Chains A and B, each alone.
Chain A
Amino acid sequence: MTNPPFDLTACALAEAVRSGELGALETTDAYLARIEAHDGALHAFHSVDADGARKRARELDDARARGEAHGALFGVPIALKDNMCLAGQEASCGSRILAGYRAPYTATFVQRLLDAGAVPLGMTSMDEFAMGSSGENSAHEVSRNPWDPTRTAGGSSSGSAVAVAADLAPIALGSDTGGSVRQPASFCGVYGLKPTYGRVSRYGLIAFGSSLDQVSPFAHDVRDLERVLQVISGHDERDSTSLPIEPFEPERPAELQSLVGLRIGVAKPYFDAGADPRVREVCEARLEVLRSYGAELVEIDLPHTAYAIPTYYVVATAEASSNLGRYDGSLYGARTGGDGSLQSMFAATRDAGFGEEVKRRILLGTYVLSAGYKDAWYNQALKVRTLIRRDFEAAFEAVDLIAGPTSPTPPFALGERAGDAIAMYNSDLCTVPASLAGLPALSVPAGFTADASRLPIGLQLIGPALSEGRLLRVAAALAAAPDAPPTHALDASAGGAA
């Protein structure tokens, strides 16, 4: 292969492998070699299953030889976040408490990928139990931003974002609870899509905030996002919160002219609160492109945005404090002995197994649910959540989608916020509202900071429930327009070397 497949989209790759133009094994080998060459510095992967990947790839090549090359992602390598269950694979959730834990079953969404012919390469690194916005809360490796390795890749789906940005995998899955896919997508200059809550089954996604978590894809290309969403979405009887709908169907490609009449809401709170002026500059430029193609920019207000961070953290930590109660060393995972009694074993195991941020959030969640405080905190947060949802409902009477920066700042330096929990929480300002409302939200690579640091900036598009098609159509228009930024951090055509 003179030109390794790294500049091909996943869709093009699937086509090439199905037709025989590329082999599944040679494709997998190419990506494995690239991981070998680059991941030592980037730490995108927590574990790589080279043997398993090659075995699968060989099976796919055999199938094609038999004339049975079907599957929308046939032969396409994919990276999975370390909180996703694939039978026999370790799923440590970036934590010591699950180090060595092998999933006994396969998640529905992973099975659908396998059925479509995808080749999982390994599990990517993440903030412990998906709690973090920088990847620095991992108990294992910490991913580096491939555009500037002194900076974070965002979080909590850090490794998956890096894997795609550095072409260690053409597509990857992450999980987004309050922005954990959109923000790393923004920081790493790639696309990240959080679907409507209930669009994709959560069965086999290790839970953090049950009413917020969604499996979310990363990609270089809008078509790839559509393809992955199509494969993994649709009703699952194993998830009682999964919507009783068919898998997502991509819309026809967007013509730039078809943006005429599209009303785009520009929410002041997202642009104002702490937004770095470089972020505003890049996002506003992109919005101008949309305006020049006929879209109408409408200033809207989302009056309860200031309450979104506290609401999110109260609800998410409450659910998490309960979801993480099961990690106690009794039935699986790591165990640390205590003084020989059951309850002390629980405490010792959790003390040794959980990192600081996880403990902090479990404490917070336990507190807001505890007797005497529950009404003022948890019950109040549930009501404010309703107000936030109503903000969006009102906004969507006037506009078709809402646009703003994905993150108030460009990627920050490693260590810069690690000790400051509040600063870290505040960086989720733009992303948590859509999570609280269960709405689909897409981070589109918008450009780079104008200064010498050239850091990636993402533009977030939020739509009404089940409007992923509309968001992707707008993203496709932006991708086809001038100044669409590159999404490959390392030189893609250089093959195995950086």
Chain B
Amino acid sequence: MNTAVASVGGLPRMPARPVPIAGWRQAALTQARARMIIGAMLFIALIAVLALRLVDLAVLHEAPAGARDPAALMAPDRGDIVDRNGIELARSFEAFAISVEPPKLLTDRRELARKMAAILPDRGEAAIYADLTANKKFRYVARRVLPWQAKAINDLGDPGIVLRREPQRLYPGLDLGAHTIGYTTSGTARAYGRSGMEKMLDARLSDPATRGVPVALAMDSRVQQALESELYTGMTKHRAAGAAGIVLDVHTGEVVAMASLPTFNPNAPGKLEPGQVADSSRPDARYNRATMAVYELGSTFKALTIAMALDSGVIKSMQQTFDARAPIMIGGHTIHDDRGHELRKFATTPEIFIHSSNIGTARMASALGGERQRAYLDRLGFFKPVAIELPEKGRPIYPAVNNWGEAAVMTVGFGHGVSVSPLHLATAYAALANGGILYPATMLKVEPGQAVPGTRVFSAATSDKLRALFRLVVTNGTGRKANTPGYRVGGKTGTAEKVVNGRYAHSQLVSTFAGAFPMDAPRYVVLAMLDEPHGTADTGGFATAGMVSAPIVEKLVARIGPLLGVMPDENKDVDVGGLLGLIADKQADE
């Protein structure tokens, strides 16, 4: 196509082009219409997309994802605590709480209080009326109510009543193992552990990262029940002020069961159990006698003194005798044997042990010396609170070093002057029975094969000799009533007078049997202690450990032995024949 080129004023001119005016307008109109259609279609498409998206959001994603996260729903509000077999001991659940907003109440408050009190008998009409008429915006009327109670309250229909769901802790076993498990109190954000393992494990149980995995305790709930049951039977029979009991694995230090009576219901801590009577002169039921209380545990200490003397070479053979002819006068005190148990001769170690001679043991302790005695007690952990995870631990009481003279050495030797918790004694007895290694007690389950660090306190030879002596006490000594047939129980009785206002109270005893079974290959330490027991007709009025605590162990071992995999066998036993030859009087009185 040819185009004409012209210039105006020296500027080059655009090439001339023929422009069809009518066709151009038509084309422009068509193009504009097409663009408009495309624009409209895009707009419709956009609206369609938005509408679909709205449907998507409204129908398919009606709630924010985070609020209904399945993983979050599956994790409990607070981690579970289970026993060594996976049985639930503590679990969280959502309970109903009933609250009121007094300004919004419409019905007559007196009438409403009456109706609510009929549904919530624990509160009482007056207390509820006080809540309903309080000059507050919000008041809790009752927490942790039953579902039917929540429904009945809701059916009252007053808009001022508010029902809430809040996490609560449930202890299905009620008072089973209460002192070990502990309890929680509800806070605004979460439940807080207040005692026992609930307090010790508080961070772990409430941490979202770890609360999904239950914490397994060493406790076996079946053994725990047997221990509590037998202790309770013994406590009520002998009208004791309290009782404590322990079952401890001698090879791992696991506390398979631990009980302190009277006990409490962790679902309602601080409230009296049915049948319990408030007594301000006694400690609260939450007081753990097994770990918090410290007692002079009496003759059970003699086993430790004999072990120290054997281990350090003070006792070179079992035939070696000690002067038990007459009481010892020292430091203004007289050390004598219990009436009816006087040996009045040079006695061998087995005789001193099965007759529980204070004089003979004092002679051994004297020969051992205060320095070595303190060193052993220190290695056994008797000068500090017991090694256990529980926060409730008592501090032992013992003479000051500068007051640890000959008199203290002798009296500590037979269990006077040193006060420790029953759990201290149980861990020491485990060391005596297991070959001489002290394992710290633990409330947590030790997995099979898991190594447990221990400290050697006594030699294996010393432990062997003590096992035979323990068995001898049960076959021929003061602990005969603990002899469960077939289970080869061994141990030592200890009856101590309580110290009241700085003086020994002759009528207030602490009667303890500590031992282990089966003594030919010990697996478990058992300890039963009654606090202030009273004699009965069948005990001849005596409240000594051999009469009141040993029978508890006898029944307990028969129940827990099979549960713990210890089978009775009357064809097996510890050979005590050699020791029997060293005893003039083969049967000790109880």
A, B from the same assembly: no
Taking Cβ atoms with an 8 Å cutoff, the residues of A that contact B are: none
Taking Cβ atoms with an 8 Å cutoff, the residues of B that contact A are: none
